Amino acid sequence: QVQLAESGGGLVQAGGSLSLSCVASGRTFSFHNMGWFRQAPGTEREFVVGISWSGVRNVYADSVKGRFTISRDNAKNTVYLRMNSLKPEDTAVYYCAADSREGDVRTTRYDYQYWGQGTRVTVSS
């Protein structure tokens, strides 16, 4: 079992930056691939970025490439999402997720077994 708790959301102007954190409980965090997803009102939850358990492999959605950066610190059981050059269309609730299975970083929400409660990001124009 892994429990996840996000923090760091808030209100920012377009072009600004925010950093999100996700702290995991459980001793097996370091063996999980991790992902960030987001969901805007009236839309499906979508993949944003994922990171392998080792931190070596990252996969980004095209919409955030070059603007968002994922990283993790297994010693702190934490995964981070740095968001730069934010746009109004980045407005959503952001969720941290963990995939306990071996293999490559997966990009659909159905591939992740554990979820945080979400943190809201609002980007004003």
62-121 pLDDT, tens digit each? 999 999 999 999 999 999 999 999 999 999 999 999 998 989 999 999 999 999 999 999
pLDDT by residue (tens digit) across 23-71? 999 767 777 899 999 999 999 999 999 999 999 999 999 999 999 999 9
Count of CB atoms situated within 10 Å of the CB of 46: 15
Token digits of residue 39: 């969901």
- Write out pLDDT tens, residues 1-17: 789 999 999 999 999 99
CA-closest candidate to residue 39, choices 125, 116, 106: 116
Facing residues of 13 across strands? 124
